[in-house]
Structures are given as structure tokens and as C-alpha cells.
């Protein structure tokens, strides 16, 4: 859930920056690029706690997946050593 909330906060930051540029009648691709850069910079500075919690959640997913892979390897190794 932390990853989703962090993604939503960053997306909202990007959309807010783009809305400001839209209000200034700037509609071209450079507005999207500038909104991306500004949104990234603002979200990087404004959401360090959310970023850390999202990173912890992703790390948990990776560790859980790695643990599952290692246990599967152990089962396969024991099956091949029985022959």
C-alpha cells in the first residue's frame, strides 16, 4: 500500500505542475517535460518518508520472492539427490 500511496502522491505532484503550466497557456511537449522535472524535484524534496516506506515495502517483496526461489531450489536439489 505504501508504494501505491507514494506513486499517487508523485502523480498528483506532476499533474499539479502540469495544471499550472496549462493555466499559463503552455500546451506543448515542453510543458510535459518541465512538469515532469518540476514534479520529480518537488516530490523528491517533499516526500522522503513516503519514499523510504515504499522502498521498504519493495525490499520486502524482493526478499520474500528470493526466499521462495531459494526454498524451491532446496526442494529441487533434494529431489535430484535422492536418485
Give the model confidence (pLDDT) of 53-81 as tens digits.
999 998 888 877 666 666 655 555 566 66
Domain that includes residue 69, residue range: 2-81
What distance in Å separates the CA atoms of residue 37 and residue 33, rounded to the nearest whole number?
6
**Residue 59's pLDDT is what?**
87
Residue 80: C-alpha distances to residues 56, 72, 73, 74, 76 (Å): 36, 12, 11, 10, 6
Q: Can you state the angle between helices 2-23 and 29-46, rounded to 10 degrees?
A: 130
Number of separate domains in the chain: 1
What distance in Å separates the CA atoms of residue 75 and residue 81, rounded to the nearest whole number?
10
Mean pLDDT of the chain: 85
Amino acid at each position: 500500500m505504501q508504494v501505491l500511496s507514494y506513486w499517487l502522491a508523485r502523480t498528483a505532484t506532476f499533474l499539479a505542475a502540469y495544471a499550472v503550466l496549462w493555466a499559463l497557456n503552455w500546451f506543448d511537449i515542453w510543458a510535459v517535460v518541465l512538469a515532469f522535472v518540476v514534479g520529480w524535484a518537488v516530490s523528491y524534496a517533499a516526500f522522503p518518508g513516503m519514499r523510504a516506506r515504499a522502498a521498504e515495502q519493495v525490499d520486502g517483496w524482493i526478499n520474500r520472492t528470493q526466499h521462495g526461489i531459494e526454498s524451491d531450489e532446496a526442494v529441487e536439489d533434494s529431489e535430484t539427490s535422492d536418485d
